[in-house]
Amino acid sequence: MALVKLYDASDKYSMFSCRYITDKDSQTEGQQLHNELTLAQSGKKASKQLVTMAAADHLCASADVLNHGSGKDKLLVYGRKDDAVAEEMVLSIQGYLLKTKLPPITKESDIAQTKVVHTEQYVHIGGLADPLFDQGAVAVLAIHQFLESRLGSGSLQDMDVKREQGHIVLDFHNRYLTPRSEAAVTSIIPFPNDYDPRHILQSRVTDEVFTADNAVQFYERVKLDGSSCSKYQFKQSHPTALSVGQLVEIQTSFAVVPRGKKQYKLINKLQSICVLDRSIENEINQEHIQAALRKTSPTQKMKWNVGYEEDDSEVEGAREDVKHMWINRSESP
């Protein structure tokens, strides 16, 4: 059996169990992901795929660094002319959702213990060892090397490729808050009430704000009703609709953030999540239902008295009464 680690829990902020998938199942789900990756790389938005940046020459030709100054975040942007407005480079990757930490914030432990601004939302995805997905990790390494070449050797913390059960996995993060001193006034927006219904995070805010850059977008791809072919539309969704086992598409951008004196760390910024397929999620739910049923106590025999068989005499009596009823239809004046 092929072991695929799929974290599953009723609480999104904890991870429970390993799920075993037979070789046949693993091949089926792996083929589904491979198809999505292949279509994305050959479609109209192929240049927006993360794997396209795996080639260092392509990255150098199309990317630049937006430097906000010493000790501040630096962003990966598209190459531009001097007078052009910088555009943040946003790229896509498809994979299976293994773990999430997303709104709503429901308990104290959801808040960062160091600084409130470090409280974040993130997702953890895997590719079932698909070589196209693994190229996404190569692309992230290429981006790391590119940024370090622009910022100076040794300026970035080393980056390790993460693995789960021997398979490459990728993490994507985004903070809930931004220090007011780093936020453009025009980017500040109201904090969504359903993200923090108990005001656990907001009660700790001092000089931090919620900006458009902190807002992760959520979508789901759905097939058009009555469509005989594979025609889809994308509908806005909600973080509570995300669950382990879903096939998703992540949109990510890249920033290097200060970490100590003259040191920076590369962050894969979570910009949006789109659910593409729920097949594995549905299988996991079915397994949980079956497991729950097996754990229930033995049922006791119980009599059911449903229907009207024992009330024949009363029913017949009522029917006889109805026969003798008549309706007085008075005419309107």
Model pTM? 0.78
Both tokens assigned to 109: 């432990």
| Cβ proximity of 73 and 211 under 8 Å | no
List, in order, residues 6 or more apart from 241 with CB less than 8 Å away.
218, 220, 275
Rounded CA separation 75/264 (Å): 12
| Cβ proximity of 56 and 146 under 8 Å | yes
Secondary structure (DSSP) of 246-280: -EEEEEEEEEEEE-STT-EEEEEEEEEEEEEE-HH
Cα separation of the two ends of the chain: 86
Rounded CA separation 52/67 (Å): 23
Number of helices (H), then strands (E), belonging to the chain: the values are 5, 14
Label the pairing between strands 120-126 and 232-236: unpaired
C-beta pairs of 231-234 under 8 Å, 24+ apart in sequence: 234/274
C-beta pairs of 57-63 under 8 Å, 24+ apart in sequence: 59/142, 59/143, 59/146, 60/146, 63/89, 63/143, 63/146
- E strand segments, the chain: 2-4, 19-21, 63-67, 74-78, 91-101, 120-126, 163-164, 167-175, 178-179, 208-209, 217-223, 232-236, 247-258, 264-277
Q: Which amino acid is at 229?
A: C
Q: How many C-beta atoms lie closer than 10 Å to residue 223's C-beta?
A: 11
Would you give per-residue pLDDT tens digits along the chain (333 residues)?
Answer: 333 334 333 333 233 334 434 444 555 778 899 999 999 988 888 889 999 888 878 888 999 999 877 778 899 999 877 777 889 999 999 999 999 999 999 999 999 988 999 999 999 999 999 999 999 999 999 999 999 999 889 899 998 889 988 899 999 999 999 999 989 999 999 999 899 999 999 999 999 999 999 999 999 999 887 666 668 899 999 999 999 989 999 999 999 998 877 789 999 999 999 999 988 777 766 666 666 676 665 555 555 556 555 555 554 555 555 455 554 544 544
What is the gyration radius of the CA atoms in the chain, in angstroms? 28
Both tokens assigned to 201: 């995070």
- H or E stretch covering 17: none
Q: Which amino acid is at 268?
A: N
Rounded CA separation 195/214 (Å): 12
